[in-house]
Amino acid sequence: MNMTTSFALFLYFYLVNTGLFINNEFVAGNNTIETINPATGKVITSVQAAGSQQVNTAVEAAHKAFHGGWKTSTPRNRARLMHKLADLVERDVNDLAHLETLDNGKPLRNAQRDIIDVSNYIRYFAGFCDKLHGKVIDTQGKLSYTVHEPIGVCGAIIPWNFPIVMLIWKVAPAICTGNTIVVKTSEMTPLSALKFAALVKEAGFAPGVINIITGYGHIAGDSLARHMKCDKIAFTGSVNVGRAIMKAAAESNLKKITLELGGKSPNIIFDDVENLDEAVFWSRFGIFYNAGQMCFAGSRIYVQEGIYDEFVKKFEKLVLSGKVGCPFDKSTFQGPQISETHLNRIMSYIDIGKKEGATCHLGGKRVNNNGGYFMEPTVFTDVKPDMRIMREEIFGPVVVICKFKDTKDVIKQANDTIFGLAASVFTSNITRAVTVSNALEAGSVWVNCTSIVTENSPFGGYKQSGIGRENSEYALANYTQIKAVKINLNSKL
Ligand SMILES: *[C@@H]1O[C@H](CO)[C@@H](O)[C@H](O)[C@H]1NC(C)=O
Ligand SMILES: *[C@@H]1O[C@H](CO)[C@@H](O)[C@H](O)[C@H]1NC(C)=O
Ligand SMILES: *[C@@H]1O[C@H](CO)[C@@H](O)[C@H](O)[C@H]1NC(C)=O
Ligand SMILES: *[C@@H]1O[C@H](CO)[C@@H](O)[C@H](O)[C@H]1NC(C)=O
Ligand SMILES: CC(=O)N[C@H]1CO[C@H](CO)[C@@H](O)[C@@H]1O
């Protein structure tokens, strides 16, 4: 392969190497993938795509790095490297944010927030490096102690909606606990991760500790999920791919898996809210942020009947005030959807909703703007529980608004889903807030707000929304395994 053409250095305000980052080097893949600017539909550049052979090379590199020193590296050294990496992310926050916006289409100020989050996550988990320890258990004449050991080589398969944030959700807990990792980025949004890869090398991590490759899910993702030396997979994405990963794990080495899958999160507004405008603000943020492309999006809004009309009116007004357009424009609230295919999929749900008899109250159309994949924020009313737009994850700027009578009624409706990622409750009555939060089948419940996700609070799904937890101290259990050592002091059997 011609190295000069295959490693087209892509110039924007900075250089990004478009190879596969394995063993601290950028290398060639099996073929290339074009990455597209969703705001224009134009090709930004081509990146190297991993085939099964390169996945194997990356896993072998991670395996060697694990046994060759990272596993036994001192916690202090791991923390020092992680803080150095966080420093570099902060230094390059603007480059990383521009790349994220260019590749993913999210408004620039949101991308900047994402990058700051990345450094916060790295520092948070760096703090755990030297705080991982087990217990001492006195077992009658024998002394037992437990050790929390790393699992080995972790594989991470990450989505395109929060590319660099999802990467760090997996990289930070994996490496602080002494694992090594192979990350596969989404083929649609590889650029910020490639820039990040250069920072990994600059920070001084040993070759093979963090490997970052791009490729298609059915090729590179599948090879990683089936690899016999990949000891764990952490995946964020759709339920169907989650199933495929469980199957691949079952058919190979029974690797451990954590999955963070879809959602159809309810957002419940009681008529006792102190400030309806505030509830409207959060509800709009909960569904239309990131162009609705969020697994935890509050895509089913339930409003108590007495305030339903007023809520819908205010909601509509606020939604219409948001500009859909160029993500580099400071006044833009909503950028493009990620791809033509995805936009078409969302648009097909608009047709489905109408055919099922729901009212498309607001939006529902494509927005023609410079060849980009834009659409109007869309609100459906007159929806019924069995409609597909009520049951299926649309993963776009589409929300359904329903009425409810009382607490019992809304809990029943809210839980009536295969998903269980998140939920929100708006009320000024603390008893009601707690009663409803406890009854909701969801991994996160937000009271009087939506979409609050932080590094120090656990995140994950009930029901078909996932397995395991990410973020916070709880995540560490999913990156370690427990060994019990039993010492016979002087006892006979
Ligand atoms: C390499 O890429 C080609 C397409 O360019 C594909 O058909 C083939 O399956 C890939 N090989 C591997 C080993 O992934
Ligand atoms: C949520 O609770 C806080 C604290 O009680 C209150 O100030 C706020 O107005 C409430 N929000 C709504 C929408 O009721
Ligand atoms: C608060 O909610 C509880 C539980 O739903 C209810 O029993 C109580 O009457 C409510 N309090 C007020 C002041 O509305
Ligand atoms: C994840 O951690 C939880 C404890 O928080 C544990 O019950 C579960 O088995 C772990 N799953 C995996 C795949 O590590
Ligand atoms: C805790 C609780 O009330 N769970 C209910 C949620 O709603 C589903 C479906 O309506 C019920 O089956 C659960 O019992």
Task: For residues 131 and 251, state if they share a domain.
Answer: yes
| Number of domains the chain is built from | 2
Task: For residues 395 and 247, state if they share a domain.
Answer: no
For residue 139, name the pLDDT band (cuts at 50, 70, 90): confident
**Distance of CA 84 to CAs 131, 208, 344, Å?**
19, 18, 42
Task: For residues 368 and 235, state if they share a domain.
Answer: no
Q: What is the pLDDT of residues 221-265, one digit of tens each?
A: 999 999 999 999 999 999 999 999 999 999 999 999 999 999 999
pLDDT of residue 8: 45
Report whether residue 324 contacts ligand 2, using a CB cutoff of 6 Å: no
The answer to the question of residue 132 being in a domain is yes
Q: Which of 427, 405, 406 shows the shortest CA–CA distance to 275?
A: 427
Q: What is the pLDDT of residues 352-405, one digit of tens each?
A: 999 999 999 999 999 998 899 999 999 999 999 999 999 999 999 999 999 999
Report whether residue 269 contacts ligand 2, using a CB cutoff of 6 Å: no
The answer to the question of residue 314 being in a domain is yes
User: Which residue out of 300, 415, 416, 425 has the highest number of ligand 5 atoms within 8 Å of its CB and is therefore the one to mutate?
Assistant: 415
User: Which residue out of 272, 274, 406, 432 has the highest number of ligand 3 atoms within 8 Å of its CB and is therefore the one to mutate?
Assistant: 432
Task: For residues 283 and 243, state if they share a domain.
Answer: no
Query: Are 4 and 19 contacting, i.e. CB atoms less than 8 angstroms apart?
Result: no
Q: What is the pLDDT of residues 268-315, one digit of tens each?
A: 999 999 999 999 999 999 999 999 999 999 999 999 999 999 999 999
How remote is the CA of residue 288 from the centroid of ligand 2, in Å?
21
Q: What is the pLDDT of residues 333-346, one digit of tens each?
A: 999 999 999 999 99
Percent of the chain past pLDDT 70, that is, above it, reads 97
For residues 387 and 352, give the distance between their C-alpha atoms in angstroms, rounded to a whole number: 9
Task: For residues 325 and 441, state if they share a domain.
Answer: yes
Report whether residue 274 contacts ligand 2, using a CB cutoff of 6 Å: yes
Range of the domain at 293: 266-454
Report whether residue 477 contacts ligand 4, using a CB cutoff of 6 Å: yes
The closest residue, in CA terms, to atom 10 on ligand 5 is 412
Task: For residues 354 and 251, state if they share a domain.
Answer: no
pTM (predicted TM-score) = 0.95
User: Which residue out of 1, 6, 31, 216 has the highest number of ligand 1 atoms within 8 Å of its CB and is therefore the one to mutate?
Assistant: 31
The answer to the question of residue 103 being in a domain is yes
Task: For residues 49 and 160, state if they share a domain.
Answer: yes
Ligand in nearest proximity to the CA of 216: 1
Residue 7 reports pLDDT greater than 70: no
CATH number at residue 351: 3.40.309.10
The closest residue, in CA terms, to atom 5 on ligand 3 is 432
Task: For residues 257 and 398, state if they share a domain.
Answer: no
For residues 131 and 155, give the distance between their C-alpha atoms in angstroms, rounded to a whole number: 24
Of these residues, 260, 376, 393, 441, which one is catalytic?
260
The answer to the question of residue 91 being in a domain is yes
**Distance of CA 260 to CAs 242, 296, 463, Å?**
8, 10, 11
Residues 6+ apart with CB under 8 A from 424: 265, 266, 267, 268, 282, 283, 286, 298, 445, 446, 447, 449, 450
Query: How far does Cα 35 stand from its chain's mean position?
Result: 20
Query: Are 20 and 27 contacting, i.e. CB atoms less than 8 angstroms apart?
Result: yes
User: Do β-strands 366-367 and 323-324 pair in parallel, antiparallel, or remain unpaired?
Assistant: unpaired
**Distance of CA 202 to CAs 37, 207, 382, 398, 468, Å?**
28, 11, 55, 42, 32
Task: For residues 278 and 210, state if they share a domain.
Answer: no
The closest residue, in CA terms, to atom 7 on ligand 4 is 468
Report whether residue 279 contacts ligand 2, using a CB cutoff of 6 Å: yes
Percent of the chain past pLDDT 90, that is, above it, reads 94
Mean pLDDT of 56-62: 98
The answer to the question of residue 492 being in a domain is no
pLDDT of residue 490: 79
The answer to the question of residue 379 being in a domain is yes
Report whether residue 477 contacts ligand 5, using a CB cutoff of 6 Å: no
Task: For residues 288 and 154, state if they share a domain.
Answer: no
CATH number at residue 91: 3.40.605.10
Residue 5 reports pLDDT greater than 80: no
pLDDT of residue 14: 56
Mean pLDDT of 45-63: 97
Query: Are 48 and 32 contacting, i.e. CB atoms less than 8 angstroms apart?
Result: yes
Task: For residues 271 and 167, state if they share a domain.
Answer: no
The closest residue, in CA terms, to atom 5 on ligand 2 is 428
The answer to the question of residue 251 being in a domain is yes
Ligand 3 atom nearest 272 alpha carbon:
14
Question: Within a 13 Å sphere around the CA of 1, how many CA atoms are in the beta-carbon half?
Answer: 14
Residue 332 reports pLDDT greater than 50: yes
**Distance of CA 10 to CAs 15, 28, 36, 76, Å?**
6, 15, 13, 36
Ligand 3 atom nearest 429 alpha carbon:
1
Task: For residues 414 and 479, state if they share a domain.
Answer: no
Question: Dihedral angle at the C-alpha atoms of 73, 79, 83, 85, nearest 10 degrees?
Answer: 30
25 is known as an active-site residue: no
The answer to the question of residue 188 being in a domain is yes
Report whether residue 407 contacts ligand 3, using a CB cutoff of 6 Å: yes
Report whether residue 431 contacts ligand 3, using a CB cutoff of 6 Å: yes
Report whether residue 429 contacts ligand 3, using a CB cutoff of 6 Å: yes
